[in-house]
A and B are shown apart, each in its own frame.
Chain A
Amino acid sequence: AQSVTQPDIHITVSEGASLELRCNYSYGATPYLFWYVQSPGQGLQLLLKYFSGDTLVQGIKGFEAEFKRSQSSFNLRKPSVHWSDAAEYFCAVGGGGSYIPTFGRGTSLIVHP
């Protein structure tokens, strides 16, 4: 069975600083990987996804993520954080076919001015 771990419950960064949110997955084959963002009072919005090919994936809002098979990781990065990036971030792993994505518990991003 697939699973995903987001080791950090909360992350605090200063506005303008770089950001990396960690995601580790467990899946027996090539995973399908996703990052979502949930702003307060909103639904989950897809930031980016990885299925195959280039392991560095670009998403919306200036985010990117890198798939590292050897580390079973799919960390989300942004070079310069804006106050509006404060939100909950969810990583998800699926396997295609009948395997619907499994979501992590989320990481809450706090941005200090």
Chain B
Amino acid sequence: DAGVIQSPRHEVTEMGQEVTLRCKPISGHNSLFWYRQTMMRGLELLIYFNNNVPIDDSGMPEDRFSAKMPNASFSTLKIQPSEPRDSAVYFCASSPGVSSGNTIYFGEGSWLTVV
């Protein structure tokens, strides 16, 4: 089975530009997560969805960040405008939910560099 698919894998953009990261969760999973990983702060949960509905977005750093899940097979994380401090690896992950003990399966990540 295909795992969590993220795109782009790498992105370099200039400060002030809009960045859109995309994610396709594992088919049949009903929970989707966006994480950010940096050396300084480690792995941070930004937001998670259950059945396409945002449940907890308390980790979203500020209004420049937004996430959507229009259907069960697609989600986006958008940063507008981007800043150099947003440079990080962004992981999308999905879970079958309660039946699996909320086991989380990660994508390969999107490496974002804002210059």
Contact = CB atoms under 8 A, between A and B. Distances in A.
Contacts, number: 48
Interface residues of A, number: 22
Interface residues of B, number: 20
A46 B108 contact: no
B48 A97 contact: no
A10 to B, nearest CB: 13
Best-surrounded residue of A36, A44, A106 (most CB of chain B within 10 A): A44
Interface string B8-34: 000000000000000000000001010
A100 B43 contact: no
A98 B48 CA distance: 12
A42 B42 contact: no
Interface string B97-115: 0100111111111000000
Given A44-B91, A105-B42, A94 B106 contact: no
A98 B101 CA distance: 9
B101 A51 contact: yes
Interface of B: 4, 31, 33, 42-43, 45, 48, 91, 93, 95, 98, 101-109
9 A-B pairs closest in CB distance? A43-B106, A32-B101, A44-B106, A43-B108, A105-B42, A51-B101, A100-B102, A103-B43, A94-B102
Given A32-B102, A94-B102, 11 more contacts: A43-B91, A44-B93, A46-B104, A49-B103, A90-B43, A96-B98, A98-B98, A99-B102, A100-B45, A100-B95, A103-B42
